[in-house]
Amino acid sequence: MNRERAKGVLAFFALFLIGLAVYGVFDAALAPSKPMVQEEPQPTEGVSKVAAQVSPSVVGITSFKRGQRVFDGYDSESTGSGVILDKKGHIVTNNHVVANADQLIVTLVDGEEREARIVGTDSPTDLAVIKIKGDDNLLPAEFGDSDKLVVGQEVVAIGNPLGLSFARSVTAGIVSGLNRLLSTEEGFAYRLIQTDAAINPGNSGGALVNLEGQIIGINSAKIAAEGFEGMGFAIPANQVKMVTDDLLRHGKVQSPILGVRIVGEISPEKAKYHRLPIHHGVVVEPKRGGPADKAGLKPFDIITRIDNQDITTSLELQEAVFSKRIGQVVKVRLMHLPQGNSAQAQVKTVKVKLTE
């Protein structure tokens, strides 16, 4: 009897455990599922999306110059990049890509070639607008607000490094710096975007893009830091928009000029060393027949103020002039050094009428 009771107890516990197991299975099946957490897209996913979106708006540009070649009539050719502005066929690129070209050929994303003509150029900003035959198949790029860029922001460079054999190459990096000041051989100064995204010869005129697919700069290999890895530069999109608007409307940038070439800058340390009666300024050389020359400026005069604005850098001088109107008369305060003799330094103010 005891043995049968023991068997009954064991059977009861076995059934009890089986019931718990079955209940657990059903309980798990009926329990509400946990919400799925969507993973953030990886950087490479963002870059590939931007590349697919923007690449059709980036074109290759081949510039031909006439010379001594017998077979095709051209002595040399060079390549660069450009960005489509509208369906009418307007394209923005660098001025040095198209300067002095006798023929321009634009290569679209599908390999189609179209001849282009120059609409307008602006050497100071190294920007130009060219035009091809337009149609609805052209995909204009969207421009963003370059003033909203922050250091460390991810960017993508798209262009044609080393020619059309590497058309629409994509490199990625970050914004390494903003408002970088670079001066050119012509004496003009730029505020530029610095990036570590590779920008090589042929990338000039190509796109620097944010991860929203907006153009935030036009790349320039001409003003890249030669000999340094990871230092590329782009002209900010907001400046590009202002210049291209003028080029599209007038064929040139309608900005006033002072008519000087920048020679150098005077810092407080330099002024003290040379015993100058000033603390800052920009050394200039007037261009023959220009506004400054007509007003009596001499080589190596040092401009310290324009109207009420102190001038300490070449960029400040350039921006002070560009903020005025063509035909406006400005007061230029300067220091004149007769024959470079600081002991005979003369500080004076002259009136200069700005021209186009």
Asked if residues 119 and 98 have their Cβ atoms less than 8 Å apart, the reply is no
Establish if 78 belongs to a structural domain: yes
Establish if 31 belongs to a structural domain: no
> Most confidently modeled of 4-8, 127-131, 200-204, 227-231?
127-131
- What CATH number is given to the structural domain containing 288? 2.30.42.10
Establish if 334 belongs to a structural domain: yes
Establish if 328 belongs to a structural domain: yes
- What CATH number is given to the structural domain containing 232? 2.40.10.10
Domain boundary among 99, 131, 163: 131
Domain match, 238 and 311 both: no
Establish if 44 belongs to a structural domain: no
Domain match, 91 and 158 both: no
- Average pLDDT in the 190-200 region? 88
Q: CA separation (Å) from 300 to 281, 291, 297, 336?
A: 11, 16, 9, 8
Establish if 46 belongs to a structural domain: no
- 284 or 25, which is more confident: 284
Domain boundary among 102, 131, 160: 131
Domain match, 206 and 283 both: no
Q: Which band of pLDDT confidence, cut at 50, 70 and 90, is reported for residue 225?
A: low
Domain match, 293 and 213 both: no
Percent above pLDDT 90 for the chain:
56
Q: Which band of pLDDT confidence, cut at 50, 70 and 90, is reported for residue 289?
A: very high
Domain match, 316 and 285 both: yes
- Average pLDDT in the 162-168 region? 72
Domain match, 86 and 126 both: yes
- 201 or 137, which is more confident: 137
- The per-residue pLDDT for 29 is 40
Active-site residue set: 96, 126, 204
- The per-residue pLDDT for 10 is 45
- The per-residue pLDDT for 181 is 78
- Average pLDDT in the 273-278 region? 87
Domain match, 240 and 291 both: no
Q: Where are the alpha helices (DSSP H) in the chain?
A: 2-30, 43-54, 95-98, 237-250, 268-273, 291-294, 314-322
Cα 30 from Cα 66, distance rounded (Å): 80
Q: What share of the chain is helix, strand, coil (3-state, %, to 5)?
A: 25, 35, 40
Establish if 141 belongs to a structural domain: no
Q: Please give the mean pLDDT across all residues of the chain.
A: 83
- Residue-wise pLDDT for 116-144, tens only, equals 999 999 988 899 999 999 999 999 999 99
- Residue-wise pLDDT for 227-252, tens only, equals 556 688 999 999 999 999 999 999 98
Q: Which band of pLDDT confidence, cut at 50, 70 and 90, is reported for residue 41?
A: very low
Q: Which band of pLDDT confidence, cut at 50, 70 and 90, is reported for residue 70?
A: very low
Bridge partners, 183 (sequence order): 189
How many helices (H) and strands (E) in the chain? 7, 18
Domain coverage including residue 165: 146-247
Cα 93 from Cα 96, distance rounded (Å): 9
- 173 or 185, which is more confident: 173
DSSP class of residue 143 equals B
- The per-residue pLDDT for 55 is 95
- pLDDT of 147 > 70? The answer is yes
Total domains present in the chain: 3
Establish if 106 belongs to a structural domain: yes
Query: pTM for the full model?
Result: 0.72
- Average pLDDT in the 159-169 region? 77
Percent above pLDDT 70 for the chain:
78
Domain boundary among 131, 161, 184: 131
Domain match, 218 and 293 both: no
- The per-residue pLDDT for 71 is 57
Asked if residues 92 and 83 have their Cβ atoms less than 8 Å apart, the reply is yes
